[in-house]
Amino acid sequence: MARKNKQKSKASFLPEIIREILLKATVKSLLRCKSVCKEWYSLISDQHFIKSHYTLSSTDNINYEHHRLVFINGIRTKCLTTCPLHDVLFNKSVSNALVLENPLQQPRSRDFMIVGSCNGLMCLFVVDNFTLFIYNPSTRTTNILPGSNQGLRISYGFGYDEITHDHKYSLKAGTWKEIGHIPRAIPYNDAKFFNGTLHWAIDDARSDSWDIVSLDLRMETYGEVLQPEYDEGSYRLTLGVFGEWLCVCCNYYESRVVVVWVMKAYGVKDSWTKLLSISHPSDRFWVPLYTQFHAPLCISNDGKLLLQLRTKLVVYDCVNGSYSEIQDLHVFPDVCIVIESLVSPFAPLGLGDNNGDEN
């Protein structure tokens, strides 16, 4: 009798209901659930499930339950550290930060930099031996890429081609492909990925202005993004991505004002909209504006803008114009936002349909 009740209990949930429940679970919980039974292991490993789980996680922008801030912390020993984005935006703290193990699984700590993030994966660059690797901080899996024979580091970008379901470097082919040189590349000026395209803000010294150069990952062609009509004065541009918008942060030297623009219809110049103007902090501990590197990271639904100001991370309240510096954060040169996912840094990729669509 007990055996029959056990079988009845096991069959009490339909597979569709189990799937819907698991789709709402965290990556940490899903990794544990893979050990429950063969059926659950197969479901959680399925590429369609991985894609659906990531889509749901990326659209949860109210509590940011699946969003993590990942940054490099430390002076002599560089540690890759992660904390909930919710804590940063709403508690102004990284007190719940967790130090990730060495992604390269090597006895000696490496000095590395964050190139970018996409689909829950991070691309990192090892400074001392010019090595690139792709890392999933949620599943703790690492794929060290072969050398690209390019020599010294110039500029990188990390993105995903929705048509071929592949990143560039190609994880499917396991190779690099030369497609031409980016115009006027600036060392350590890495690209922002948006709308299937990489974007660089490049200073044109000849005309004392800035260009936004793009690389379409599907067509493998370079282009230029038309910019908004900026105000007069010397400025510096940095790029960001706010949800479904490409963002430009224009830092004016003389007026010490930062103007944030968003492009609401990609590729349409008239769709550029001035989101807000930020007066630079007047605190005596802040260095002059022109020595800062401004990188807009995200904006919450209630108007809190997360900004990187050199080695500081601050939250700007768009409602009352106040700044709040993030506490418990020390010497942090690199940062990005990662959405938790089960996507593998190896092929086959977790966001494709995998129906023979090989590149």
pLDDT (tens digit per residue) in 128-153: 777 888 999 999 999 988 866 555 55
7-16, 50-59, 311-320 — which is least confidently predicted?
A: 7-16
> What average pLDDT does this structure show over 211-220?
88
pLDDT in the model for residue 191: 85
Q: Given pLDDT bands bounded at 50, 70 and 90, which one contains residue 356?
A: very low
Q: Given pLDDT bands bounded at 50, 70 and 90, which one contains residue 19?
A: very high
Q: Is the pLDDT of residue 6 over 60?
A: no
> What average pLDDT does this structure show over 103-128?
79
Q: Given pLDDT bands bounded at 50, 70 and 90, which one contains residue 27?
A: very high
CA distances from 325 to 31, 137, 213, 313 (A): 35, 25, 32, 6
CA distances from 281 to 84, 286, 292, 330 (A): 26, 7, 12, 19
> What average pLDDT does this structure show over 329-344?
82
Mean pLDDT of the chain: 79
pLDDT in the model for residue 358: 35
Q: Given pLDDT bands bounded at 50, 70 and 90, which one contains residue 265?
A: very high
pLDDT in the model for residue 357: 33
pLDDT in the model for residue 134: 92
191-205, 248-262, 268-282, 291-305 — which is least confidently predicted?
A: 291-305
pLDDT in the model for residue 272: 95
Domains, the chain, ordered by start: 2-45 (no CATH), 57-339 (2.120.10.80)
Task: Give the residue among 195, 281, 274 at the shortest CA–CA distance from 231.
Answer: 274
- Angle among Cα 69, 284, 334 to the nearest 5 degrees reads 20
